[in-house]
């Protein structure tokens, strides 16, 4: 009951935010906020694969692309028909219903690709897996380039603008909550044990195969939803947005945040989204902003190789009002 | 060897690494409540045998029977469920997790929380040092403490049969003695143990019998008395 009450509370709060924030806050800041949130979803989901489970994936942009293009196809081609059949509903509800459908479609299609990529990960590790996932991302991109129905090299344009603050905030919160509670559970220990030592993990009775694949599936699912948000926000998807550079960008975020730290992934995703923008205001040296950005990363890695927060994730449940009383150890 | 008292029987086991045969047609058995030991030099196939039992390696030929039932094609995580726990060679603790988390992972397959708590207390009873370091990362423990943790972690799955791979490796003599004392204690509580050791003398002192392995074959079955009576054996395998 409390859970349900909290859920409804958050739901209403996010609806209010969606209604009133655009009136109070400058559109430029809202734009940055939206991009930050999408990057937070990507970083937190990749962190489950790379940080917690220790499977080095370079294909997150590929998962994002599959989710983005699948969902955009759903809303672009199927959306109008669904809305037409739902004419008994108010237009706004029908529209958001279609978007929910697209989000799930995007997430599930990416998750399916995650399943396909997870299978080679049973045999490969480290550098080899990185190359396989990198190849997967490039295959996805080249396939998209050659399919005319989804825009090909011109990009997929005229995607309906369904992404709003409600969906952005809800999905960011959902991703963080889902990955955090998964990591804190006994499944979380199993993911960690795969990263630490696979043989020992097997000897403990952990089905390492299952956990490696499931990490890819869950990580890809959220990346696919991020792609959906991204496409329906910009109203345009272009293959160039999903090169391996995008995957690297997300990897940098989780390394800067500290591999395995969800809190670190969130903070770093926000910082690294805003930093290049903030550097625009540097006046005389603003032409050097990408150099300064790179230098900042190098200095951070030299002084704190474990990332900003290392492995550390604060125990937010301590402040959660509905938690069960914990036995004192 | 069709005696029902056997908790584990190995029959004509052959294990290969690629084209190389590491274990050649070996057979042995362990009765409920026994300690047996596999002794022999490096590369004799001792660890390979343990890995085959716990399912980490697939035997090419032969049979492994747990309480009369075959373990053929059963993956390692299912083997743990059936009551065999393996403390692998080289400790293999989870270095970046705390002592408590390591032990909790040992009980990963169990859902009976109160019993898990009791078992953790039991492990702390055997190894009080671990309790002092419960919140420490396992990688920061000393070699001996890591070995204690590896054994403790293997016990957390509440096994019927414990496979210990070189628990004395790299430990100071005093610690070796302490570890062997604990192994005896664990056994006294009803856990059958297969002990792989290079330290043959210590191992035979606590084991019902030992199987001497030489390049993948069992060449001799020995007991602690043989050490005293058989001069040749002592010279050949036990370093004088």
pLDDT tens profile B205-226: 899 999 988 888 998 888 877 7
Between A328 and A206, whose confidence is greater?
A206
Q: Quick one: angle between helices A27-46 and A262-278, nearest 10? A: 140
Q: What is the dihedral of CA A240, A245, A246, A247, to 10 degrees?
A: 130
Helix (H) / strand (E) element for A78: namely none
Contacting residues for A309 by C-beta, under 8 A, at least 6 apart: A257, A258, A261, A263, A264, A267
Strands B209-214 and B35-39: parallel
Ordered alpha helix ranges (H), chain A: 2-24, 27-46, 60-73, 79-85, 91-118, 127-145, 165-184, 186-196, 198-203, 208-234, 244-257, 262-278, 289-303
> How many C-beta atoms lie closer than 10 Å to residue B145's C-beta?
21
- The pTM of the full predicted model, rounded to 2 decimals, is 0.86
Q: In DSSP terms, which residues pair with B15 in a beta bridge?
A: B23
Mean pLDDT of chain A: 87
Asked if residue A99 lies in contact with residue A75, where contact means CB atoms within 8 angstroms, the answer is: yes
The burial of A221, by beta-carbon neighbours within 10 Å (0-12 exposed, 13-18 middle, 19 or more buried), is given as buried
Between B139 and B239, whose confidence is greater?
B139
CB-CB: which of A189, A199, A311 is closest to B108?
Answer: A189
A235: left (phi over 0), alpha (psi -120 to 50) or beta: left
Query: Is A227 part of any domain?
Result: yes
Q: Do A203 and B108 touch (CB under 8 A)?
A: no
Q: Do B94 and A192 touch (CB under 8 A)?
A: yes
Q: What pLDDT sits at residue A174?
A: 93
Q: CA distances (Å), B22 to each of A49, A271, B47, in order? A: 36, 54, 10
Between B26 and A126, whose confidence is greater?
B26
Mean pLDDT across the stretch A291-314? 81
The burial of A82, by beta-carbon neighbours within 10 Å (0-12 exposed, 13-18 middle, 19 or more buried), is given as middle
Between A46 and A325, whose confidence is greater?
A46
Is the CB of A199 inside 8 Å of chain B's CB atoms? Answer: yes
Is the CB of A202 inside 8 Å of chain B's CB atoms? Answer: yes
- On the question of pLDDT at B4 being above 80, the answer is no
Query: Is A56 part of any domain?
Result: yes
- On the question of pLDDT at B91 being above 90, the answer is no
Which percentage of chain B shows pLDDT scores above 70? 95
Q: What pLDDT sits at residue A140?
A: 93
- Cα gap A226→A38, rounded to integer Å: 6
Query: Is A10 part of any domain?
Result: no
Q: How confident is the model at residue A12 (pLDDT cuts 50, 70, 90)?
A: confident
Q: Check if the interface score ipTM surpasses 0.95.
A: no
Q: Do B95 and A206 touch (CB under 8 A)?
A: no
What 8-state DSSP symbol labels residue A185? S
Q: Do B76 and A311 touch (CB under 8 A)?
A: no
CB-CB: which of B80, B87, B94 is closest to A196?
Answer: B94
Query: Is A300 part of any domain?
Result: no
- On the question of pLDDT at A282 being above 90, the answer is no
Q: Which domain holds residue A98?
A: 30-243
Count of domains observed in chain A: 1
Q: Do A204 and B157 touch (CB under 8 A)?
A: yes
- Cα gap A19→A173, rounded to integer Å: 18
Measured in residues, chain A has a length of 329
Mean pLDDT across the stretch A256-282? 88
Measured in degrees and rounded to the nearest 5, phi and psi for residue B48 equal -60, -40
- On the question of pLDDT at A47 being above 80, the answer is yes
Q: What pLDDT sits at residue A322?
A: 56
Contacts of A199 in chain B (CB under 8 A): 56, 88, 92
Q: Chain centroid to CA A121: how far?
A: 20
Which SS3 state, helix, strand or coil, does residue A248 take? helix
- On the question of pLDDT at A97 being above 80, the answer is yes
Tokens of A202: 């097997």
Mean pLDDT across the stretch B15-37? 92
Q: What pLDDT sits at residue A329?
A: 42
- On the question of pLDDT at A195 being above 70, the answer is yes
In a mutagenesis test of the A interface, which of B52, B54, B77, B83 is the best target, namely the one with the most A β-carbons within 10 Å? Answer: B77
Contacts of B77 in chain A (CB under 8 A): 202, 205-207
HEC string of chain B equals CCCCCEEEEEEEEEEEECCEEEEEEEEEEEECCCEEEEECCCCCCHHHHHHHHCCCCCCCEEEEEECCEECCCCCHHHHHHCCEEEECCCCCCCCCCEHHHHHHHHCCCCCCHHHHHHHHHHHHHHCHHHHHCCCCEHHHCCHHHHHHHHHHHHHCCCCCEEEEECCCCCCCHHHHHHHHHHHHHHHHCCCEEEEEECCHHHHHHHCCEEEEEECCEEEEEECHHHHHHCHHHHHHHCCC
* Angle, vertex CA A284, rays to CA A283 and CA A290, nearest 5: 85
- On the question of pLDDT at B13 being above 90, the answer is yes
- Cα gap B77→B91, rounded to integer Å: 18
- Cα gap A142→A243, rounded to integer Å: 10
Q: Do A202 and B77 touch (CB under 8 A)?
A: yes
Q: What is the dihedral of CA A223, A215, A173, A241, to 10 degrees?
A: -20
Of the options 1.10.645.10, 2.40.50.100, 3.40.50.12780, 3.40.50.300, the CATH number for the domain spanning B1-83+194-240: 3.40.50.300
Q: What pLDDT sits at residue B1?
A: 46
Q: What pLDDT sits at residue A326?
A: 52
CB-CB: which of A186, A197, A203 is closest to B86?
Answer: A203
Strands B61-66 and B69-70: antiparallel
CB-CB: which of A189, A193, A203 is closest to B56?
Answer: A203
Q: What pLDDT sits at residue A92?
A: 84
Q: What pLDDT sits at residue B30?
A: 93
- pLDDT-wise least confident of A96-105, A307-316, B147-156: A307-316
Between A69 and A84, whose confidence is greater?
A69
What 8-state DSSP symbol labels residue A235? S
Q: What pLDDT sits at residue A316?
A: 60
């Amino acid at each position: 009951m409390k859970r349900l009450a909290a859920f409804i509370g958050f739901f209403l709060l996010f609806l209010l935010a969606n209604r009133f924030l655009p009136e109070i806050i400058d559109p430029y800041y809202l734009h940055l906020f939206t991009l930050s949130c999408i990057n937070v979803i990507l970083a937190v989901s990749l962190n489950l694969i790379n940080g917690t489970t220790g499977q080095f994936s370079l294909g997150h942009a590929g998962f994002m692309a599959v989710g983005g293009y699948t969902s955009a196809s759903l809303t672009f081609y199927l959306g109008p028909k669904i809305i037409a059949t739902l004419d008994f509903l108010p237009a706004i509800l029908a529209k958001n219903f279609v978007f929910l459908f697209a989000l799930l479609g995007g997430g599930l299609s990416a998750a399916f690709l995650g399943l396909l990529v997870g299978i080679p990960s049973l045999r490969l590790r480290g550098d080899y897996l990185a190359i396989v996932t990198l190849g997967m991302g490039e295959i996805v991109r080249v396939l998209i380039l050659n399919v005319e129905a989804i825009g090909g090299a011109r990009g997929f344009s005229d995607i309906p603008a369904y992404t709003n603050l409600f969906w952005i905030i809800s999905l960011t919160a959902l991703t963080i909550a889902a990955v955090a509670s998964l990591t804190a559970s006994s499944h979380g220990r199993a993911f960690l044990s795969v990263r630490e030592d696979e043989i020992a993990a097997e000897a403990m009775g952990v089905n390492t195969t299952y956990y490696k694949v499931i990490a890819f599936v869950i990580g890809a699912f959220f990346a696919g939803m991020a792609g959906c948000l991204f496409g329906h926000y910009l109203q345009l998807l272009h293959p160039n947005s999903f090169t391996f550079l995008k995957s690297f960008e997300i990897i940098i975020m989780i390394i800067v945040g500290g591999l395995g730290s969800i809190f670190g992934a969130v903070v770093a995703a926000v910082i690294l989204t805003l930093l290049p923008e903030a550097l625009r205001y540097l006046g005389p040296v603003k032409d050097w902003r990408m150099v300064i950005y790179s230098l900042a990363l190098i200095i951070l890695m030299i002084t704190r190789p474990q990332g900003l927060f290392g492995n550390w994730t604060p125990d937010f449940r301590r402040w959660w009002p509905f938690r069960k009383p914990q036995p004192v150890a | 060897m069709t005696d029902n008292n056997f908790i584990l029987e190995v029959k004509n086991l052959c294990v290969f690494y690629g084209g190389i045969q590491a274990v050649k047609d070996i057979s042995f058995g362990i009765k409920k409540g026994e300690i047996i030991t596999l002794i022999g030099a490096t590369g004799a196939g001792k660890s390979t045998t343990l890995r085959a039992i716990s399912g980490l390696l697939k035997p090419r030929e032969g049979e492994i029977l747990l309480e009369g039932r075959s373990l053929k094609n059963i993956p390692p995580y299912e083997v743990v469920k059936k009551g065999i726990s393996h403390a692998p060679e080289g400790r293999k603790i989870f270095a970046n997790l705390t002592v408590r988390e390591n032990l909790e992972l040992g009980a990963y397959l169990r859902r009976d929380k109160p019993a898990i708590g009791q078992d953790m207390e039991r492990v702390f009873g055997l190894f009080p040092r671990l309790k002092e370091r419960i919140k420490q990362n396992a990688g920061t423990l000393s070699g001996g403490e890591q070995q204690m943790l590896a054994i403790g972690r293997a016990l957390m799955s509440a096994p019927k049969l414990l496979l210990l791979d070189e628990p004395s490796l790299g430990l100071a003599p005093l610690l070796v003695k302490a570890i062997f004392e604990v192994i005896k204690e664990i056994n006294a509580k009803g856990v059958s143990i297969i002990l792989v050791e290079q330290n043959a003398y210590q191992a035979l002192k606590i084991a019902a019998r030992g199987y001497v392995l030489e390049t993948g074959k069992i060449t001799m079955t020995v007991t602690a008395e043989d050490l005293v009576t058989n001069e040749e054996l002592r010279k050949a395998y036990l370093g004088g």
